[in-house]
Structure 1
């Protein structure tokens, strides 16, 4: 089946590409959905040029070239949101729009030194992974999804884990965003304990093209692809239809 438009999902830190499967399932066969593992997470090896936002963007750009994506929309979640913004500023051929789910802002993430150190110490620890799951989600999830989220957390490479906390999350790519010239939308959960909707309204929304909306999903936390796949799919479908 040929698709007029594809979605390319870029997953959250300590996650994997299959985090988007609930959203892809909710969309059905109407749109192709590609969701690679990002370097050092899931089954992906380390990015060849290191773990900077641009190194990740290079890997994704190469992935896009190798897939039959046609016109596509980048769907960046959390860490993947910052990578999606870096890609959108490059004016890649075929890029039709960007949807940001609870995105890491283009400016340094607001994280205290205490939280950063606690996150660094949490690598590879099952109890910490379970605690993180409880913190970053607000809606109840099926047991199988909870196990998958914890397993993805625990198989993150230490290099990728630490690089994002110490460097990637602190990068500032705000001065590039003026050049983004495709439609964008930001989606946030109103009870996100990691990044509140106000953060997106202050740090990301003003830098995106005029007409960009900030959509709020009531009762959802940070893991929107798992917590609100139907709502996310509905927003993606409406966004895609607006591009056709």
Structure 2
């Protein structure tokens, strides 16, 4: 049986995260909307392809397309966070059947991600180190988080496979899919924290928003950092409900 004809959100997680990040959003959006959030290859509990070349943005988009088909989702919004945002845009550009919208949470832009060589090298050296994972947690979040959420974020970071972890830093984040954005034909929205130290709202306004359909809003969440599903689940859920209602009313 296909998933309900009401809009389902397909959650695509951030780099070095997992689908678990959408747990609070799933509870807040139920019962009106379901949230399905796969672990992307090499992260969480997902199987890890053997080759670094298997971790391209398109390879992830292929994985998500298979997931949607296997779960027989009839109507869905791609809900892409950070790295998952770029994957969502790549898949949306293919105009897949059933896609009715794209919601981006602090997304990696279609063009190469604005990351300095020093930051890239620092992240590469941090792989697998608990103290560095904890440092990253405090760098990318602003609002206080429950101890269980902090533990989950650190655990997800540490269980990332080295190939997937490094492939995004060295290759995926540098891919340029900007030319494909002209094929986007569904409503889009961007949500960003005004205190995001990784991807500031200005990055979204300058590099992503101009490539999306005319009228796409950039919603700013005050006092939040990069991990919106953890830091601001209530605000994000409200904005997603409003987005889904506008799609339904169109």
Structure 2 residue 26 is the aligned partner of structure 1 residue 45:
no
Do the aligned residues in 1 keep the contact of 2:12 with 2:88 (CA within 8 Å)?
A: yes
Shift of the alpha carbon at 1:2? Answer: 3.5
- Alpha-carbon displacement from aligned partner over 1:162-212 (angstroms, at most 9, x marks no partner): 000000000000000011000000000000000000000000000000110
Give 5+ residue unaligned stretches, structure 2.
none
- The equivalent of 1:176 in structure 2 is 180
Do the aligned residues in 2 keep the contact of 1:10 with 1:38 (CA within 8 Å)?
A: yes
- The equivalent of 1:30 in structure 2 is 32
Do the aligned residues in 2 keep the contact of 1:189 with 1:222 (CA within 8 Å)?
A: yes
Shift of the alpha carbon at 1:46? Answer: 2.0
Q: Secondary structure at the match of 1:80?
A: helix
- The equivalent of 2:15 in structure 1 is 13
Q: Secondary structure at the match of 1:62?
A: helix
Q: Secondary structure at the match of 1:99?
A: strand
Structure 2 residue 224 is the aligned partner of structure 1 residue 220:
yes
- The equivalent of 2:130 in structure 1 is 126
TM-score of the two chains, using structure 2 as the length reference: 0.96
Supply the distance in 2 between the matched residues of 1:217 and 1:73 (Cα, whole angstroms). 20
- The equivalent of 2:155 in structure 1 is 151
Do the aligned residues in 2 keep the contact of 1:14 with 1:152 (CA within 8 Å)?
A: yes
Correspondence for 2:67 among 57, 63, 78: 63
Supply the distance in 2 between the matched residues of 1:28 and 1:132 (Cα, whole angstroms). 31
Supply the distance in 2 between the matched residues of 1:22 and 1:211 (Cα, whole angstroms). 29
Supply the distance in 2 between the matched residues of 1:210 and 1:47 (Cα, whole angstroms). 38
Q: Secondary structure at the match of 2:218?
A: strand
Q: Secondary structure at the match of 1:56?
A: helix
- The equivalent of 2:196 in structure 1 is 192
Q: Secondary structure at the match of 1:8?
A: strand
Alignment root-mean-square deviation, CA:
1.1
- The equivalent of 2:206 in structure 1 is 202
Supply the distance in 2 between the matched residues of 1:47 and 1:77 (Cα, whole angstroms). 22
Do the aligned residues in 2 keep the contact of 1:129 with 1:150 (CA within 8 Å)?
A: yes
TM-score of the two chains, using structure 1 as the length reference: 0.98
Supply the distance in 1 between the matched residues of 2:75 and 2:15 (Cα, whole angstroms). 26
Give 5+ residue unaligned stretches, structure 1.
none
Supply the distance in 1 between the matched residues of 2:194 and 2:73 (Cα, whole angstroms). 32
Do the aligned residues in 1 keep the contact of 2:4 with 2:74 (CA within 8 Å)?
A: no
Supply the distance in 2 between the matched residues of 1:183 and 1:47 (Cα, whole angstroms). 33
Supply the distance in 2 between the matched residues of 1:81 and 1:58 (Cα, whole angstroms). 14
Aligned length: 244
Q: Secondary structure at the match of 2:54?
A: coil
- The equivalent of 1:106 in structure 2 is 110
